[in-house]
Amino acid sequence: MRVFVTRQLTDGAASAMGDLPASVEVFEGGGAPDRSELLEGARGAAALLTMVTDEVDEAVLDAAGDDLRIVANHAVGVDNIDLAAAAERGVVVTHTPGVLDEAVADLTFGLVLATSRRIGEADRMVRSGTPWVWGPRVLIGLDLSAGATLGIVGLGRIGMAVARRARAFGMRILATGSRASSAEARDLGVEPADLGALLDASDVVSLHCPLTDSTRHLIGAAELRRMRPGAILINTARGRVVDEAALVAALGDGTIAAAGLDVFEHEPQVHPGLLKLDNVVLAPHIGSAGEATRDRMGQLAIDNIAAVLTGKDPLTPVSA
């Protein structure tokens, strides 16, 4: 049996690959495999350890053939995998839920702070040598602890972790999703809301929903117009949840005040309009990029592969 890993893992996770009951081939190209390299690497593999940027469709599954038993995705989201096609072929798909919640919530709140207090703009001003002197009107931003409202779109595990951080800042918290009515959410002071009411009332809107057919472009021109003129949009979920062209327009004309983005609609390409705006903070999909977190993600993917290849149930399977 052979396992194909599409990217170099962290040292902590990579050390566990030697315990797999199969030979391991790690893509050595330095970045992500292109389409032909992914198809070639999948050929005859019993297991694929993939990243969220690897499109695992029917062609990849067919290249692997009847030997393929598991696709272990090194991510929580599995929108890069054709789940129906995998199920038709009897291929197990797994992901890495739970182990990255706190890291993504940390990054989310980092973006909230960076945008609300205009830290990126301040850094660029100082680095550029722009003359400045302290004054009451210089780079005024949003005081989170002065009654600001956070709207969480999709209150799952990560959204709940963000809510805990927001509560520490004394923010009012609105949230969509069935979990917004749970006892845990109530204990944090979360108020359930539908999307429209959340957009109307929130100073900061943070996206934490999975990418599905129903959430693609969930935030478009109409939704951005519903937000407050001084509001901030944060996206650490999936880029295609937001209509990026509409966001560029809304940021440019003052429909909303700012955005903090860790994901992009056509990742890794970024809309050129975003690169020209001062009121947006951009990060290259680093939500889970804590060393311990990435170790745990890789270890969980490897543990799923080991379980399936030895005839056991996967630890964190995904249903089609």
Q: Which residues are catalytic?
A: 238, 267, 285
Cα distances (angstroms) measured from residue 55 to each of 27, 36, 43, 47, 59: 15, 12, 15, 15, 10
Contact status, residue 65 vs residue 22, Cβ threshold 8 Å? no
Dihedral sign computed on CA atoms, order 151, 154, 160, 165: negative
Listed in sequence order, the residues at least 6 apart from 262 whose beta carbon sits closer than 8 Å to its beta carbon are 107, 108, 111, 235, 236, 283, 284, 285, 286, 287
Consecutive H or E run containing 254: none
DSSP helix/strand/coil, 125: helix
Consecutive H or E run containing 174: strand 172-175
Output phi, psi for 195, to 5 deg. -60, -45
| Residue ranges with strand state E in 68-142 | 70-73, 92-94
Question: Of 65, 70, 72, nearest to 44 (Cα)?
Answer: 65
Q: Give the tokens for residue 105.
A: 């919530």
Output the furthest CA–CA distance in the chain (Å, rounded).
Answer: 69
